Structure 1
Amino acid sequence: MPIRPVLSAAVIMGCLTAFHAAAWSHPLDGTAWTGDGSKTTYADIEARAVAADFVLVGEIHTNSVHHTIQADIIRTMAEAGREPAVVFEMVPKSLQPVLDAAMAAPAPDLDALGAELRWTERGWPDWAIYRPIFEVALELGLPLVAGDLDRSVIRDIGKQSLTIESDVTYPEETGARLAEELMAAHCDLLPEEAIAPMIDVQLARDLSMATAMLDAGRSDSAVLIAGAGHARSDWGVPFILQTKAPNADTVSIGLFEVTEDATRFADYEDTEGQGLPFDFIRFTQRSETRDHCADLEKQLDKN
């Protein structure tokens, strides 16, 4: 009777890890591109960030790799002699005093900072994956700036009980594309009448972040840490910066998660051959595989 080899737990786990890595290998993971679909390098992206007045790095909120990349870009800019203000979508204006206190502290407690920002309470992913951004900014003495509106203001805009005065408006075609994007992002589950207030909220929030960048970046430059939708050049914060500061050098960087059956750059375009609305794209592995449409449908059913 043949003797079967006995594999240790470590060997079994190593095999499973190798199998998992092989199963999730993807030809785009780690690659860098220009928005029009030309291959480039991450070093080229960093070089453009170093030279720019305004840098926007659009993330998937749950992806820890995206936050590491954002921290690396900030450090690279600082090591090149820049002193960018770091503006956060995740921090509303009312919590600016918390950021001010952290900047003034001789040895800020980063875990306490997360608690004081009510990070988890306000619904953001694990503070630990955002911590590297705050850590590098505080280590280098860079300004931390709240970029978003307070939730009460956002709610009032969504209910159309508050109007934000602005000289920035979307072109008709852009507004139509944004409406389609918002409906798709909500899995086509929302009623048509919900979209117009959401567009108002989108514009108001992007105006808030753009204004924060313009105000904070006067001494040198500003970096925006935000979801990828806010970093789009067609209707996001770059669109507003271009309107308000047309002579500024603005660079938008989209951090994209790969999809298993989408292995070409063109697979991520809305229309093949039309590129993506960012100056640069960096692809990474996915952070989670949850069905967000199923989650949204359950949430809407509860309401």
Structure 2
Amino acid sequence: MPRRPLLLALLLVPLVACGPNQPAGDALEGRYWDVAAGEFIDFPTLVDRLADREHILVGEQHDHPGHHALQGRLVEALARRGQRRALVAEMFDAEDEAALKGLRNQPPREVGAVAQAVAWNESGWPDFSLYEPLFAAALEAGWPLYAGNPDRATTMDVHRDGFTALGADIRTRLALADEPPGDVMEALRGEVREAHCGHGTTNLFRRQARVQFLRDAWMARRLQAADTGGGTLLVAGTGHVRPDHAVPFHLRRQGADGSAVSLQLRPTPEAGMGAREAAAGGPPADFIAFTERRGPTDPCAAYREALEAMGDHGPAE
């Protein structure tokens, strides 16, 4: 039986999963854009500009093979520079942490051991073969793996009851002792609404935005806990790594001393669109890697099918 029931799977839909795929264009594919500098850079320069940051946050489209191949290439490049970072992954939650600790103590030789240890096939994430380039590179480099997500029970408790469902110690560690800023929650509600293709109620979007705020705060804390001095690399959906109100925002709220940098892996936009326009048209980032655009599938179809399986009005609240 899958580890995640259907309701939880809906709660964990990445913030960009249901946005429409953009038409292809060839001008930007395979290129890297430094947003602050306003210039294209090559891959070695990208690695150089990421390498001196304590926390590297990489935003992905979960089902895009090219994104995981590029992540593996980035890990290899950083490892060649002598870096041994902790790899924190959204795909692992707190319930996987015991298994991941076992892998850290006795690193496996085969990447398939990672999938077996965390029961990946029951997790609801895309096929593990897509992620093999990333995790194989991490194992080869000797990078330890850590869970980024909270456990399912905590997620469901916050969805139902808000942050008061958390213990006082956890709320303090996550800097959730106070209600989130109104502008941040409004932005999150808008993103959740778009990610869920407009299906749902105002109350449902509010609850899921609250969960998103929790998960970003949790990932920020996990980065700090996993960092043993060599820095970290987070892989997560693109909505989690945006500097304005996602994980970097929570690192600042939690008083993290280290620096963070975000790299968005983004399918190539429509033909004729320049890098500046393309950068402004998606989640903010410090750097953008433009990748192959995948087929013209309707990304909202899977979500609609899930809702239909639960009834016309989606999950009960």
TM-score of the aligned structures, taking structure 2 as reference length: 0.80
* Mean Cα deviation higher: 139-148 or 286-295: 286-295
Partner SS state of residue 159, structure 1: helix
What residue identity is the alignment partner of 2:252? Q
Q: Does the CA contact (< 8 Å) of 1:49 and 1:73 recur in 2?
A: no
Aligned residue in 2 for 1:200: 210
Determine the C-alpha separation between the residues in 1 that align with 2:68 and 2:180.
Answer: 30
* Mean Cα deviation higher: 164-173 or 240-249: 164-173
For the pair shown, the structure with the greater C-alpha radius of gyration is 1
Aligned residue in 1 for 2:137: 136
Determine the C-alpha separation between the residues in 2 that align with 1:170 and 1:265.
Answer: 33
Determine the C-alpha separation between the residues in 2 that align with 1:224 and 1:240.
Answer: 14
Unpaired segments of 5 or more residues in structure 2?
1-22, 311-317
Aligned residue in 1 for 2:175: 167
Aligned residue in 2 for 1:99: 100
Q: Does the CA contact (< 8 Å) of 1:262 and 1:268 recur in 2?
A: no
Task: Say what the alpha-carbon RMSD is for the aligned residues.
Answer: 2.4
Unpaired segments of 5 or more residues in structure 1?
1-22
Aligned residue in 1 for 2:31: 31
Aligned residue in 1 for 2:261: 251
Partner SS state of residue 98, structure 1: helix
Aligned residue in 1 for 2:126: 125
What residue identity is the alignment partner of 1:113? V
Aligned residue in 2 for 1:299: 306
Determine the C-alpha separation between the residues in 2 that align with 1:279 and 1:232.
Answer: 9
Partner SS state of residue 122, structure 2: coil
Deviation beyond 6 Å, 4+ runs, structure 1: none
Measured after TM superposition, the shift of residue 148 of structure 1 is 0.8
Q: Does the CA contact (< 8 Å) of 1:57 and 1:228 recur in 2?
A: yes
Aligned length: 278
Measured after TM superposition, the shift of residue 247 of structure 1 is 3.7
Determine the C-alpha separation between the residues in 1 that align with 2:259 and 2:87.
Answer: 17
Determine the C-alpha separation between the residues in 2 that align with 1:139 and 1:269.
Answer: 33
Measured after TM superposition, the shift of residue 112 of structure 1 is 3.2
Partner SS state of residue 120, structure 1: helix
TM-score of the aligned structures, taking structure 1 as reference length: 0.83
Q: Does the CA contact (< 8 Å) of 1:49 and 1:55 recur in 2?
A: yes
**1:100-150, Cα deviation, whole Å (9 max, x unpaired):** 222333643322321231212111111111112221221222211111112
What residue identity is the alignment partner of 1:30? G
Determine the C-alpha separation between the residues in 2 that align with 1:167 and 1:103.
Answer: 28
Partner SS state of residue 121, structure 2: coil
What residue identity is the alignment partner of 1:240? H
Identity rate, percent? 29
Q: Does the CA contact (< 8 Å) of 2:55 and 2:261 recur in 1?
A: yes
Measured after TM superposition, the shift of residue 240 of structure 1 is 0.8
Q: How has the CA–CA distance of structure 1 residues 269 and 47 changed in structure 2, closer, same or farther, with 3 Å as cutoff?
A: closer
Partner SS state of residue 292, structure 1: coil
